[in-house]
Structure 1
């Protein structure tokens, strides 16, 4: 599989996408879902034909179902590659970061393995993997994070969840995953009290209520992903 990374709906992007970008991603995933439905219908009818003793029709319907399955895979591949390019474009993530938003679990696994091996060949020491917090998934269960952790274990790499629970730090050198400290904040400026900036209570409340940007973007994607996975 070529390196992919797609989104399902608005929540699969790590930035504010254009309407055209959203439409293209949705178009590809919708086409994949439609082919999956046709595949399932063909296989169901093939089974019914077989039960009737009509082997010829059963074989024909089975072959038709396989063709729809191939088309489904191709549309999903295109969607995965599309979202990968969108989310991991230069300037949107750093060189030591990969964003897996918008990927199906199997797609994310394939992409991550390829990226880890490439990074190791380039002598990179670590990798930040953005997987999302799962706040908008069914029962708030993270789907990508467990698979990312499984990949790391299979490759003998240690990892750790970062302060942002939607990110995983991976040590690419095989040692302990020690997350580097964040850069120090600049010293207090004039007008701050006790080293802390002064905020009005209303401003503090608004800041605390402001959700994580990736959580906002992920919401639409996860709802559609759940629908698609039932079909796929």
Structure 2
């Protein structure tokens, strides 16, 4: 597992977070990194003990390493849950949108899979996925976006990059990823009308055929967003215990 991370606060949030929220997120990820380091040290010492013929010592050190690994997973689980709730709280994203900022790649994959299941089971025909532009990643490489595209491909779903390169539009019906047009006043809420680049490389003009349903979803009550968070997170967190985390 790779847990090499620097200070993550500002780029992990989609809003003007409080200093306390930023500090809590960084604290949890930092604790996970510390446990990962301790795990590696224990495993290294375990190999040395085994090579020197100390089987009992090697076993004890191996068990200590596994214990640190479990603590690492728990801290990362807490960080993932914390940032998900912060970024996807009512009023911060629309009912048809999920924000994956601050997630490790494997965390983002698990979250997206569960969110798609939830959306489809509740009759939603599309999903906007905020993946970030990779501005703060090493060499400015987007890591969440290709994993989101991979998930869509595995599920047989068409997707398209929106005008904002940090967002992906996913058609949950299995049809063509043609994004509906949004009224001008909705752009301030993170909606982007106009052309989008499809995964095949071409550009498609939006048809607006889903506009009525889109507007209906935009009018959902705030507590429905809370239901999404509460329904999706428990399943995700159980699956993340064995996830291999890669830095966003």
Which TM-score applies when normalising by structure 2? 0.71
Aligned pairs for 1:140-179 within 5 A: 140-179=140-179
Residue ranges of structure 1 left out of the alignment (5+ in a row)? 1-6, 186-227
- Residue equivalent to 2:87: 87
What are the within-5 Å matches in structure 2 for residues 1-232 of structure 1?
8-184=8-184
The offset of 1:107, in angstroms, is: 0.3
Report the counterpart of residue 223 of structure 2 in structure 1.
none
Unaligned runs of 5+ in 2: 1-6, 186-244
> 1:156 and 1:73, CA in 2 relative to 1: closer, same or farther beyond 3 A?
same
RMSD: 1.6
Number of aligned residue pairs: 182
Moved more, 61-70 or 130-139: 130-139
Conserved in 1, the CA contact under 8 Å of 2:11 and 2:136? no
Superposed displacement of residue 157, structure 1: 0.6
Q: Secondary structure at the match of 1:175?
A: coil
For the residue of structure 1 that corresponds to 2:153, the secondary structure is helix
Question: Post-superposition shift, 1:181?
Answer: 2.3
Distance 1:27 1:149, change over 3 A: same
Q: Deviations over 1:77-111 (max 9, x none)?
A: 00000000000000000000000000000000000
Partners of 1:16 and 1:120 in 2: CA distance: 31
Is the 2:161–2:168 contact (alpha carbons within 8 Å) kept by the matching residues of 1? yes
4+ residue stretches of structure 1 with deviation over 6 A? none
TM-superposed deviation, 1:8: 3.0
Between structure 1 and structure 2, the one with the greater Rg is 1
